[in-house]
Amino acid sequence: MIVPTRILNIVVVGIGGVGSALVPKLSRYCQFLPEGIEVKMTLIDGDEYQEKNRGRQAFHRLGNKAEVTVERISAEWPRIEFVSFGQYLTEENIEFLLCEVDNDSGVPQDTVVFVGVDNNDTKNVIDRYAQGRENIIVICGGNDYTDGNVQLFVRKGGKEVTQSLSTVHNEIAHPTDRSPHKMSCEELAAESAPQLFFANETVSVLMCWVFWHVVEHPAFLNDPAFAELFFDMEIGKVNSYQRHPQPPPTKE
């Protein structure tokens, strides 16, 4: 039995259009990582698949998105330890879900959090938690109809390597929407704005771009060449931005 030298703890928050496109890609890649790396993948979502989701999301039966996805994919990628958490991520459960050590073995783990949620409130919860962590990698993506972005937030040794989600995006620092667990049944049942399947897929691919750098290029985490990508399908462009932490303003 190979004793793992490293646990790669992947947490995917949101298994909707982006998450359900992302998980198979991550799984296929992680299945063939070098020996010695133990891979754990936790899928988190309190929502349920409905027939109306078929245009953008892959599922073999109705039910909780996290549970159904783990059920569908775990047999195909046996190297990965899949865990489903069928509730929404909240301020109360985030510490347990994104623990710095493995809950079972106590072994320290490298945590990479993929955020594919449709509300800034949840992004704000994750971002504030991540800002208090010694080490963490957050890859957050979202889209509008034909454009979107992926942002990387890295903390290493207690210091920011890139700017946090809230530092760059005011709408995440001060969300005006609410996490689903705070919404009423009527609000949850309300129709959301239409989305384009290809935009979800593009977000998932750009998240994979970032993840590939994180896993295979250790120098990237010391000085990322980019920390945010914006794409626009209408004009056929992808732009990258560095998000280096800014020094505090000097007093005159």
Partner 1 sequence: MNFTREELAGKSKLELKSLIKQSSLDVAFTNMTSHPELVEAIMQAQEKRDAAAPPPAQEEAPPVGGRQRGRARQQLEEDQRPPEEDAPPPPPNGNGKAKKKIRVACGASSGQYPVAGMTVGNIRQELRDILNIGSEHMPRVNGASVDNDYVLKEEDSLEFVRNAGDKA
Binding residues for partner 1 (CB under 8 A): 14, 16-19, 116-120, 123, 140-144, 147-149, 151, 165, 168-172, 177, 192-193, 195, 199-200, 203, 230-232, 234-239, 241-244, 246
Closest alpha carbon to 189 in 52, 56, 66, 58: 52
Nearer to partner 1, 86 or 141 (CB): 141
3-state secondary structure of 210: helix
Nearer to partner 1, 117 or 136 (CB): 117
Closest alpha carbon to 209 in 232, 179, 238: 238
Please, what is the minimum distance in Å from the beta carbon of residue 116 to partner 1? Answer: 4
Residue 41 token pair: 């993948």
Nearer to partner 1, 64 or 151 (CB): 151
Nearer to partner 1, 86 or 116 (CB): 116
Nearer to partner 1, 40 or 243 (CB): 243
Q: Are residues 175 and 235 in contact, defined by beta-carbon separation less than 8 angstroms?
A: no
Q: Are residues 21 and 52 in contact, defined by beta-carbon separation less than 8 angstroms?
A: no
Please, what is the minimum distance in Å from the beta carbon of residue 148 to partner 1? Answer: 3
Please, what is the minimum distance in Å from the beta carbon of residue 40 to partner 1? Answer: 22
Which residues are CB-contacts of 69 (< 8 A; sequence separation ≥ 6)? 15, 19, 20, 23, 43, 59, 84
- Cα–Cα distance between 72 and 23 in angstroms, integer? 11
Please, what is the minimum distance in Å from the beta carbon of residue 70 to partner 1? Answer: 19
Please, what is the minimum distance in Å from the beta carbon of residue 117 to partner 1? Answer: 6
